[in-house]
C-alpha cells in the first residue's frame, strides 16, 4: 500500500455523515486512502448497501490526492469491524456515536463494545464534533501501565498537526502510589523528548470526578481531541463508565481510543 488506510463506518444516518466529514477534514493534512464501510448481516443486502455508499461518495468533494471507496462486509457490526480493519491493514477506524442516550446508558455504547473487539485504534466523533485543526490533545492517564499505551498515537497526532499533548494525571495521597505515578510520567516525558513531541504535564487535584476535571481542563485549553487507552477491568463493558463518558463528552470533542493489552515490561 502506498498510503495509510483509514476506515470510516457509515450506517446511513447523519452520524455516519459526521464521521465521514471528520475523516475528510483530517485528510487535508494526511496522505491517506479512505474506505467507507457498511456491515450487513445478509449477503443479499450487499448490492443495495454498496449502491447507497456510492451515492454518499459521489456527493463528497475530496481533498487532492485522497481516494474514497465503498466497502461492504457481511458480519456482526459490533464484533467483526475490528477484524475487517485489521485484514485490510487499516491504521484507524473512524466512527460516529449518537451518545449515551436512552438505553445506551444502561447497556453501554456501541463504540465501547466495538473497541473491545478491535486491535485497530478508533477515532469516535459525535454529531456536533467541530471540524477544526488539532492543536491541543488531552491525554488522561492513571496508575496502570495500560493507560500509557495511547502515548505513541497521541504523539503521532501532535506531530502531524504541530500540536501539543497535555498529559493529565491525578495527585496521589499515598506515597507509594505517588512514586508509581511519578515513574510513569517520567517515562512519558523521556519518550516525548526523544521524539521532539511538544507536551505539557498537568497534575490534577485528587478530589472530585476525574471525568469532570478532564472536561474542565479541555474546555480551558480549547482542546480539539481527547485520546485515551481503554482498559476496563470489568468483564462486562456496560459496567465501565469512564471510557463511555469520555467518548460522549459534553464538549463534543472527538476521542482517539486504543484497546489496551495487558502490559508486560514495555509501556508503549
Relative to beta strand 122-126, strand 255-259 is antiparallel
User: Phi first, then psi: what are they for 114, rounded to 5°?
Assistant: -70, -40
User: CA 35 to CA 230: how far, in whole Å?
Assistant: 25
pLDDT, position 109: 61
pLDDT, position 35: 95
pLDDT, position 134: 94
pLDDT, position 1: 38
User: CA 222 to CA 228: how far, in whole Å?
Assistant: 18
Q: Per residue of the chain (268 residues), give pLDDT as tens.
A: 346 889 999 999 898 999 999 999 988 888 789 999 999 999 999 999 999 999 999 999 888 888 899 999 999 888 899 999 999 999 999 999 865 554 344 344 677 888 888 889 999 998 889 899 999 999 999 888 888 999 999 999 999 899 999 999 999 988 999 999 999 999 999 999 999 999 999 999 878 888 999 999 999 999 999 999 988 654 444 446 788 888 888 899 999 999 887 544 445 5
Torsion-angle region of residue 26: left (phi > 0), alpha (psi -120 to 50) or beta? alpha
**Cell 449518537 sits at which residue?**
98
**Nearest to residue 164, comparing CAs of 141, 206, 135, 130?**
135
Q: At what angle do helices 151-161 and 175-195 cross, to 10 degrees?
A: 40
Q: What is the 3-state secondary structure (H, E, C) of the chain?
A: CCCEEEEEECCCCHHHHHHHHHHHHHHCCCCEEEEEEEEECCHHHHHHHHHHHHHHHHCCCCCCCCEEEEEEEECCHHHHHHHHHHHCCCCEEEEEECCCCCCHHHHCCHHHHHHHCCCCCEEEEECCCCCCCCCEEEEECCCCCHHHHHHHHHHHHHHHHCCEEEEEEECCCCHHHHHHHHHHHHHHHHHHHHHCCCEEEEEECCCCCHHHHHHHHHHHHCCCEEEEEECCCCCCHHHCCHHHHHHCCCCCCCEEEEECCCCCCCCC
- Cα distances (Å, whole numbers) of residue 37 to 62, 71, 98, 162, 171: 17, 5, 18, 30, 42
pLDDT, position 100: 53
Domains of the chain: 4-126 (3.40.50.620), 136-259 (3.40.50.620)
Q: Indicate whether this model's pTM tops 0.95.
A: no
- Going by C-beta distance under 8 Å and a sequence separation of 6 or more, which residues neighbour residue 29? 133, 160, 161
pLDDT, position 146: 87
- Cα distances (Å, whole numbers) of residue 241 to 26, 27, 133, 164, 231: 28, 31, 28, 27, 11
Amino acid at each position: 500500500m502506498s498510503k495509510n488506510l483509514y476506515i470510516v463506518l457509515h450506517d446511513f444516518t447523519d452520524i455516519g455523515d459526521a464521521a465521514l466529514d471528520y475523516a475528510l477534514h483530517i485528510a487535508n493534512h494526511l496522505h491517506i486512502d479512505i474506505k467507507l464501510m457498511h456491515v450487513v448481516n445478509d449477503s443479499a443486502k450487499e448490492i443495495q448497501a454498496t449502491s447507497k455508499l456510492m451515492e454518499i461518495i459521489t456527493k463528497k468533494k475530496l481533498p487532492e490526492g485522497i481516494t474514497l471507496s465503498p466497502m461492504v462486509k457481511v458480519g456482526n457490526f459490533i464484533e467483526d469491524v475490528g477484524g475487517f480493519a485489521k485484514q485490510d491493514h487499516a491504521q484507524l477506524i473512524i466512527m460516529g456515536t449518537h451518545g449515551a442516550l436512552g438505553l445506551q446508558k444502561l447497556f453501554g455504547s456501541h463504540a465501547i463494545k466495538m473497541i473491545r473487539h478491535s486491535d485497530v485504534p478508533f477515532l469516535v466523533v459525535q454529531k456536533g464534533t467541530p471540524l477544526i485543526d488539532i492543536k491541543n490533545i488531552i491525554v488522561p492517564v492513571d496508575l496502570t501501565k495500560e493507560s500509557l499505551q495511547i502515548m505513541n498515537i497521541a504523539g503521532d497526532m501532535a506531530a502531524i498537526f504541530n500540536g501539543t499533548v497535555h498529559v493529565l494525571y491525578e495527585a496521589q495521597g499515598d506515597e507509594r502510589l505517588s512514586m508509581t505515578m511519578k515513574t510513569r510520567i517520567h517515562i512519558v516525558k523521556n519518550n516525548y523528548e526523544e521524539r521532539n513531541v511538544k507536551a505539557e504535564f498537568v497534575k490534577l487535584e485528587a478530589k472530585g470526578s476525574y471525568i469532570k476535571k478532564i472536561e474542565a481542563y479541555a474546555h480551558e485549553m480549547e482542546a480539539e481531541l481527547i485520546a485515551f487507552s481503554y482498559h476496563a477491568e470489568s468483564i462486562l463493558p456496560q459496567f465501565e463508565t469512564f471510557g463511555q463518558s469520555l467518548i460522549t463528552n459534553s464538549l463534543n470533542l472527538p476521542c482517539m481510543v486504543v484497546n489496551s493489552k495487558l502490559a508486560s515490561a514495555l509501556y508503549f
